[in-house]
Amino acid sequence: MRLFFIFSLCILLTSLSACTVGGVSANPQVDPSAQYYLQNKGSDTIVNLALAWAEAYQDLHPEVRISVTGGGSGTGITALINNTVDIANASRKIKTEEIKDARKNGVEPAEFVIARDAIAVIVHPQNPVSRLTLQQISDIYSGKINNWAELGGENRPIVRLSRETNSGTHVYFLEAVIRLGNTADKTIFSADTLLLPSSEGIITEVSSNPNAIGYDGLGYVTEHVKMLAIAGKENTDYTLPSEESVNAGAYPISRDLYMYTNGQPEGLVGEYLNWIHSAAAQEIARGLGFVPITGVGN
């Protein structure tokens, strides 16, 4: 009897040890009510989209649980470097030094474009200014232009709003707008720029402050703020951000959005990323104001 018990226990332990490999079932006989977990962390720009995707995927796969948290692109990439997250969300590309830090920890970042985004430049609805060039925006945020009257507006001081430095949107705006894409340029935000911790915070402050200017992902813009038409250069067309203007290459402040994994994803992580690139998932992105990846979800 004792030998039979030990034999039965060994079979049970062997079966349990084969249940999960890389976070997904390796045994086709696994109980479908079992829970599999995936941790997804990073960009606040992406967080609402990531939450919507997680909810939709869990509806399709009730056995899966996906934890989604924000904190900024830097937070997600740091978690990836430390190998404490399955997927890191980022609204900017991972930096060379971050890749080096990851490799020191035995992590090999793999990059996936999961949607596109337009950065809207926004002001209070009562602000008469309706359009700016990239150079003018750069001059505002670097402190060269300080009054709306210099831009054809009222005699009011400009209140500059930005995301905090850990935000991928902050980094992108600094490099693509303030420095106008010039990698040798060391211009920084004016010292009196107010740094806010969330996209929603930018919207709230701009909607209540007639002197404010801010920037935010298109998916976060509400009717309580006014988007400005932007021109890449003087004497070129001014364009409002939209899915159409991004896809046409007409809106000058647009970017890819990313997810990063440790190596090429397998198991649950790979299945989830494949689904994110599906037409159904890209349609969710479109519904939240993001631009689907070209050729997907259209």
Q: What is the pLDDT of residue 165?
A: 94
pLDDT at 294: 65
Q: Is residue 199 part of a domain?
A: yes
How many other C-beta atoms lie within 10 A of the C-beta of residue 185? 14
Which of 8-12, 45-49, 269-273 is predicted least confidently?
8-12
CB 117 within 8 A of CB 257: yes
Asked whether residue 87 is assigned to any structural domain, the reply reads yes
Buried-state track 208-220, b at ≥16 Cβ within 10 A, e below 16: ebbbbbbbbbbbb
How far apart are the C-alpha atoms of 142 and 15, rounded to whole Å?
Answer: 62
pLDDT surpassing 50 at residue 84: yes
73 and 151 inside one domain: no
Domain that holds residue 238: 117-254
Cβ atoms < 10 Å from Cβ of 141: 25
CB 231 within 8 A of CB 199: no
- For position 233, what pLDDT does the model report? 84
Per-residue pLDDT at 79 exceeds 50: yes
Q: Phi/psi zone of residue 36: left (φ > 0), alpha (ψ -120 to 50 degrees), beta?
A: beta
127 with 106, same domain: the answer is no
14: in domain: no
pLDDT at 295: 53
Is 174 a domain residue?
A: yes
What is the CATH classification number for the domain harbouring 269? 3.40.190.10
133 and 236 assigned to the same domain: yes
C-alpha span between 207 and 28 (Å, rounded):
54
228's CB contacts (< 8 A; 6+ apart) are 120, 121, 122, 123, 129, 130, 131, 132, 240
Residues 37 and 141 grouped into a single domain:
no
pLDDT at 203 over 50: yes
Q: Does the pLDDT at position 127 exceed 60?
A: yes
Residue 35: pLDDT over 80: no
81 lies in some domain: yes
Average pLDDT over residues 132-142: 98
Choose the weakest-confidence range: 7-11, 143-147, 220-224. Answer: 7-11
- pLDDT at residue 58 above 50? yes
Amino acid present at 204: T
Joined tokens for residue 176: 């693509």
Mean pLDDT score of the chain: 89
Tell whether 144 and 238 lie within a shared domain.
Answer: yes
One domain for residues 131 and 235: yes
Residue 31 pLDDT greater than 90, yes or no: no
Q: What phi, psi does 263 have (nearest 5°)?
A: 75, 175
How many domains does the chain divide into?
2
- Which pLDDT does position 36 carry in this prediction? 87
Angle at 163 between CA 161 and CA 165, to 5 degrees: 125
Same domain, yes or no, for 108 and 131?
A: no
C-alpha to C-alpha distances, 148 to 4, 152, 161, 255, nearest whole angstrom: 85, 7, 15, 28
Which of these ranges, 22-31, 120-129, 188-197, 233-242, has the smallest mean pLDDT? 22-31
- 157 and 236 fall within a common domain: yes
Answer yes or no: do 218 and 122 share one domain. Answer: yes
Residues 144 and 162 in one domain: yes
Q: Answer yes or no: is 25 within a domain.
A: no
Among residues 223, 187, 226, which one has the least CA distance to residue 215? 226
What average pLDDT does range 194-208 have in this prediction? 96
27 has pLDDT over 80: no
Confidence of residue 164 (pLDDT cuts 50, 70, 90): very high
| Confidence bin at 13 (pLDDT 50/70/90) | very low
178 and 102, same structural domain?
A: no
Residue 212 and residue 127 share a domain: yes
pLDDT tens for 210-257 read 999 999 999 999 999 999 999 998 888 999 999 999 999 999 999 999
